[in-house]
Amino acid sequence: MIDEVAASAARAWTWSAVLKGGFTGLAVFVVLRYLGAAIGASTGDGVLAEGFAAWNVAAQVLALFVAGMVTGFVHGSLRPLDGALAGTFTWAVVIVMMTGLLGSPGLQVAEPALWGALAGAVFSLSAAIAGGILGVQRARRAPLAQFPLPGVSSPGNWPGSRKF
């Protein structure tokens, strides 16, 4: 157990995990936005602004949950706090990327949409933290031999391990 905690502390932060989760979340968000826009365009009704805003918030929350989960899993820590921090950092990176790619929401939309953007940012932070914690828990259950590290033997060869 001490070796596992030491290994977890040794890879305290891997920004590559945050970027992998961030780009995954951004891709999920873009696909969900396209889906929402396609559904809205196919109805032919121009009164769907509120529905699209709600869809946008839901897409952002789902995308950042997936991003946090991917980051937590790739990070491979053993502690839920590391998963929460991974989700938080992923949320920060994705929010900056979304703003850079989609522009500031205040430049093109009215006040109600700004409140929707704020709600999406707040709820997506919670979703990213929850996803990071869940990703860490999934990584804890994954077989260690599935993720070989250079220079580290498999757990079956460690001293004190028994083969059944």
Whether residue 119 is contained in a domain is answered as yes
- What range defines the domain where residue 139 resides? 15-143
Q: Tell me if 68 sits within 8 A of 92, measured CB to CB.
A: no
Per residue in 76-119, pLDDT (tens digit) is 777 888 888 888 889 889 888 887 777 655 455 555 666 666 77
Token digits of residue 161: 């391990």
Exposure string (b/e) for 100-124, b if CB count within 10 Å is 16 or more?
Answer: eeeeebeeeeeeebeebbebbbebb
Whether residue 1 is contained in a domain is answered as no
pLDDT-based confidence at 164, cuts 50/70/90?
very low
Whether residue 99 is contained in a domain is answered as yes
Whether residue 152 is contained in a domain is answered as no
Whether residue 160 is contained in a domain is answered as no
Token digits of residue 23: 């780009």
Distance of alpha carbon 5 from alpha carbon 31, whole angstroms = 38
CA 64 to chain centroid, in Å, comes to 4
Whether residue 44 is contained in a domain is answered as yes
Q: Tell me if 25 sits within 8 A of 97, measured CB to CB.
A: no
Whether residue 30 is contained in a domain is answered as yes
Distance of alpha carbon 129 from alpha carbon 125, whole angstroms = 6
- Angle of CA points 74, 75, 76, to nearest 5°: 90
Q: What is the pTM of this model?
A: 0.69
Length of the chain: 164
Token digits of residue 132: 């990071």
Distance of alpha carbon 22 from alpha carbon 67, whole angstroms = 6
pLDDT-based confidence at 66, cuts 50/70/90?
very high
Domain count, the chain: 1
Given a cut of 60, whether residue 162 has pLDDT beyond it is: no
Whether residue 126 is contained in a domain is answered as yes
Average pLDDT, the chain: 73
